[in-house]
Amino acid sequence: MSTNTASVPYGEVLRSIINTSEAAAAATSRPRPFGFGRNAVEAVASIREPAVLRRHPHLVRFADVEAELDLLIDRAIAAIVDGEPTEDEILGHYVNIASLVRAVSFREGKLLEQAVDRLAQANPNVLVLTQSLKLPLVKAALEAVSGNNWASLDGIKLDCEAPAKGSYTPDLIIVNRARHTAYILDLKRSLASYGDTSRLEELKIKMMASAMVLPDWLYKTQKRLMVDTVEVAIVDGASRPSDHANGVWALSEIDDLLEIDGAAACMAELRRRFGLRVQKLLEVEARKAIGVDGRLVAAAVDTGASSIAPKPSRINLNGPSRTFEEEMAARSFDDDLPRDPWDDDRFDPANAIEDDEPRPVFFRVGYARRPAAH
């Protein structure tokens, strides 16, 4: 088995191949924009060809799969709605909205996987594996990927039953039986959250290590299914600019992975319809939350308006200009009458409305101090 980097539409993906000559023959059978050498003229021609022309021998139209894709959307929406939110003191009445957002993030990924599985049926040469895809992370593969350039691992194929350190479960494994090629796909609804973290690199290491054992794993677990080439691709559902040289593909390029014209357009329409349904759900929950809060605010205003009148602050933030004893003497109602300086009559009720300037109640405002010892 040989391992190198394959040239593919709009860039490159990481690949592991067994027979270099067979890979070169396969490379000339499909258009490769930005190719080199004798493929360059053909690549340029493929870029300029009208959109109505077919790039692949197989075709799918949304009208042909509309009923099935709508059913997948219905199931995803039903699963989102069935979720029971957990009470949250911070989110309060908005907890339902947060619960919906979390459920959407999970269900959209599953929806994309199911849709790709359905669309792949338009190509009879393609087999999609979706169940029991736990691939062993063989220690030797991890060490080889971590300590070497991917291109230098050309020709290395490892036993899937060798000592492993954990496992990796891809979202899909797509096998093109005509080309003897397998794709390890990890579908993400969006790669936006991976931008400033090392998680993307860690994911690629796991995928590349899995690629080194996939031929043996397919042969042993999938009824002696044999492949010469293994390619890995992280598919960004948000279709941001792809980076094939680093294994990142936009969902809008799924046509080239499945070799089916129209697959990307179907996925775009699927996401559009799913987005509309999700936005309606969020709008309903948002109106409910705002309605609940509005009633609470209105009740609080009605209850407090009659009993609480706005009053100037009684706290003298600048500190007293006189001593406490001087203030008590100055505020005495009748210096001739002996009165208890702490008589309750000397202070107005807290909820009384005063026409005159409010008399400040003096207490200390400042940093905390250690209490004085008795």
pLDDT by residue (tens digit) across 253-282?
Answer: 999 999 999 999 999 999 999 999 999 999
Residue 303 lies in a domain: no
Note whether 201 and 264 are same-domain residues. yes
Residue 353 lies in a domain: yes
**Amino acid at site 162:** A
Contact residues for 220 (Cβ-Cβ < 8 A; gap 6+): 160, 161
pLDDT at 225: 92
Note whether 75 and 155 are same-domain residues. yes
Does residue 127 surpass a pLDDT of 70? yes
* Cβ–Cβ under 8 Å, residues 3 and 17: yes
CA distance 168 to 175: 18
* Cβ–Cβ under 8 Å, residues 108 and 189: yes
Note whether 232 and 328 are same-domain residues. no
Q: Is the pTM of this model over 0.85?
A: no
Residue 298 lies in a domain: no
Q: Which domain holds residue 345?
A: 312-367
The number of folded domains in the chain is: 2
pLDDT at 26: 45
Note whether 256 and 322 are same-domain residues. no
Note whether 213 and 342 are same-domain residues. no
CA distance 40 to 316: 82
Least confident stretch, 79-88, 231-240, 241-250, 292-301: 292-301
Note whether 350 and 228 are same-domain residues. no
Note whether 186 and 70 are same-domain residues. yes
pLDDT by residue (tens digit) across 276-310?
Answer: 999 999 998 888 888 754 455 455 545 554 444 44
The percent of residues above 90 in pLDDT, for the chain, comes to: 39
Q: Quick one: which of 231, 257, 264, 259 has its CA closest to 245?
A: 231
Note whether 354 and 268 are same-domain residues. no
pLDDT by residue (tens digit) across 87-109?
Answer: 888 888 788 888 888 899 889 99
Residue 341 lies in a domain: yes
Instruction: Please name the residue that has the structure tokens 């941001």.
Output: 240
Residue 120 lies in a domain: yes
Both tokens assigned to 303? 């209850």
Both tokens assigned to 279? 């936005």
Note whether 40 and 164 are same-domain residues. yes
pLDDT by residue (tens digit) across 152-187?
Answer: 777 788 899 999 999 999 999 999 999 999 999 999
pLDDT, the chain, mean:
74
